[in-house]
Chains A and B, each alone.
Chain A
Amino acid sequence: MDPIAFLQKKWQGLVANATPLFWTAVSIVLVAAFLFFFYTPPQSMIGPEQPIPFSHRLHAGHKAIQCQYCHPYVGHSNHPGLPPVEKCLHCHNYIIANHWWIQEEHRYFNTQTPTPWVKVNFLPEHVLFNHQRHIRFGIECQACHGVVEAQDRIKGKHFKMGFCINCHEEKKVNLGCWLACHS
Chain B
Amino acid sequence: MMDRRTFLKIAGMGSMAFAAGCSPDPDRKLFSLVHAPEDMVTGQPQWYATTCRECPAGCGVIAKNREGRVIKLEGNPAHPVNRGTLCMRGQAALQGLYDPDRITSPLRKENSGWRPVTNDDALTLIRRKTAAAARKGPDRIQFWTDVMGAPLHELAAETMAGWNAAGPTVYEPFGYDALKAANEALFGIDGLFAYRMEDADVLVSFGADFLETWLSPVSYARQFKTMHRVRKGRKGIFFHVGPYQSLTGVNADAWVGCHPDTETIIALALIQIGLDVGRAGHLPFELKDTLETIVTRYPKAAMLEKTGVPEPVFDRLATRLFQAQNPLVLGTGAGAYGVNGYATNLAVNLLNYILNPALPLFAFEQRYRVETAAPRSVIRQRVDDLRDGQTDVLFVHNANPVHTLPPDSGIAAALQDPSVYVVSFSNVMDETTALADLVLPVRSPLESWDAYEGVAGALGIQQPTLGRLSEAPALGDVLLATAAGGRTAADSYKTYLPQAMNRHSGVIGQVSDWIAILQAGGRFTSPPAVVPPNDPARIDPAVVSQAFNGLADRPKGPVLIAAPSIRYLDGRGANKSWLNEIPDPLTQIAWQTPVLLHPDTAADLKVTAGDVVTLEAAGETLEAPAYDWAGVVPGVMVMAAGQGHTGLGRYARNQGSNPFRLMGGTPRTTGSDVLFMAHAITVKATGASVKLAATSGSRVQHDRKIAMQIPLQELRKPTDHGKPGLTMWDFPLTLPIPEGYDHKRDFYPPHDHEGYRWAMVVDLDRCIGCNACAAACYAENNIGVVGQERIVEGREMAWLQIQRYQDAEDGARVNFLPMMCQQCDNAPCESVCPVYAPHHNKEGLNNQIYNRCIGTRFCSQNCPYKVRRFNWYSWEWPKPLDLQLNPDVTVRAKGVMEKCSFCIQRIKAAHNVAKNEKRPVRDGEVVPACMQTCPTGAIAFGSLMDPESRVRKLVDDPRAYQVMGYLNTKPAVIYLKKVVQEV
Contact = CB atoms under 8 A, between A and B. Distances in A.
Given A77-B43, A77-B44, A114 B33 contact: yes
Contacts of B904: 178-179, 183
Nearest to A78: B43
A176 B843 contact: yes
B861 to A, nearest CB: 22
Contacts of B29: 116-119
Given A126-B890, A133-B915, A182-B851, A176 B31 contact: no
Contact of B31 (A78, A83, A87, A116): A116
Nearest to B891: A125
Interface string B820-857: 00000000000000000001011101010111000000
Given A77-B41, A177-B847, A115 B36 contact: no
A129 to B, nearest CB: 10
Contacts of A145: none
Contacts of A117: 29-32
23 contacts: A73-B43, A81-B42, A82-B42, A85-B34, A85-B35, A86-B35, A86-B36, A108-B34, A114-B33, A114-B34, A116-B29, A117-B31, A118-B29, A119-B30, A124-B851, A125-B891, A126-B890, A128-B905, A130-B908, A176-B841, A176-B843, A177-B849, A178-B901
Interface in A48-70: none
B41 A76 contact: yes
A112 interface: yes
Contact of A77 (B35, B36, B42, B843): B42
B36 A87 contact: yes
Interface string B855-873: 0000000000000000000
Contacts of A151: none
Contact of A112 (B34, B42, B907, B916): B34
B28 interface: yes
A109 to B, nearest CB: 6
B35 A82 contact: no
A178 B30 CA distance: 26
A40 interface: no
Interface size on A, as a range, is 35 or more
Contacts of B33: 82, 84-85, 114
B434 to A, nearest CB: 37
Nearest to A75: B916
Contact of A82 (B32, B851, B889, B911): B32
A179 to B, nearest CB: 6
A177 B891 CA distance: 16
A39 to B, nearest CB: 15
B364 to A, nearest CB: 50
A136 interface: yes
Contacts of B31: 82, 114-117
B888 interface: yes
Interface string A97-115: 0000000000011001111
Interface of A: 73, 76-79, 81-87, 108-109, 112-119, 124-126, 128, 130-133, 136, 176-179, 182-183
Interface in B29-63: 29-36, 41-44
Given A115-B31, A126-B851, 4 more contacts: A73-B44, A85-B34, A182-B847, A183-B889
Nearest to A117: B30
A70 to B, nearest CB: 10
Contacts of B843: 176, 179
Interface in B894-930: 901, 904-905, 907-908, 911-912, 915-916
Nearest to B852: A177
A111 B32 CA distance: 14
Q: Name, among A73, A83, A124, A178, the residue most crowded by chain B CB atoms within 10 Å (CB to CB).
A: A178
Contacts of B845: 178-179
B69 to A, nearest CB: 15
B28 A118 contact: yes
A-B pairs with the 6 shortest C-beta distances? A78-B43, A77-B43, A79-B43, A114-B31, A84-B36, A82-B32
Given A126-B850, A126-B851, A176-B847, A182 B32 contact: no
B938 to A, nearest CB: 25
Classify the interface of chain B: helix, strand, loop or mixed.
Answer: loop
A120 to B, nearest CB: 9
Most A CB atoms within 10 A — which of B33, B839, B841, B891?
B33
Nearest to B781: A183
Given A178-B847, A178-B901, A179-B843, A133 B912 contact: yes
A84 B34 CA distance: 5
Contacts of A125: 890-891
Contact of B34 (A76, A113, A130): A113
Contacts of A177: 839, 841, 847, 849
A182 B42 contact: no
Nearest to A83: B32
Contacts of B912: 130, 132-133
Contacts of A86: 34-36
B32 A84 contact: yes
A183 B890 contact: yes
B504 to A, nearest CB: 37
Contacts of B907: 179
A130 to B, nearest CB: 7
A2 to B, nearest CB: 38
A175 to B, nearest CB: 9
Nearest to B33: A84
Interface string B1-33: 000000000000000000000000000111111
Interface centre among A73, A77, A128, A136 (most CB of B within 10 A): A128
B32 A115 contact: yes
Given A85-B34, A114-B32, A73 B851 contact: no
Contacts of B850: 126, 182
Contacts of B889: 183
A177 B842 CA distance: 10
Name the residue among A83, A176, A183 with the largest chain B CB count within 10 angstroms. A183
B901 A183 contact: yes
A136 B916 contact: yes
B42 A183 contact: no
A77 B41 CA distance: 7
Contacts of B847: 176-178, 182
B307 to A, nearest CB: 56
Contacts of B36: 84, 86-87
A114 B843 CA distance: 42
B32 A183 contact: no
Interface string B878-891: 00000000001111
Query: Which of B35, B42, B911, B915: most chain A CB closer than 10 A?
Result: B42
B7 to A, nearest CB: 19
Nearest to B756: A179
B905 A183 contact: yes
Contacts of A114: 31-34
Contacts of B839: 177
Contacts of B41: 73, 76-77, 81
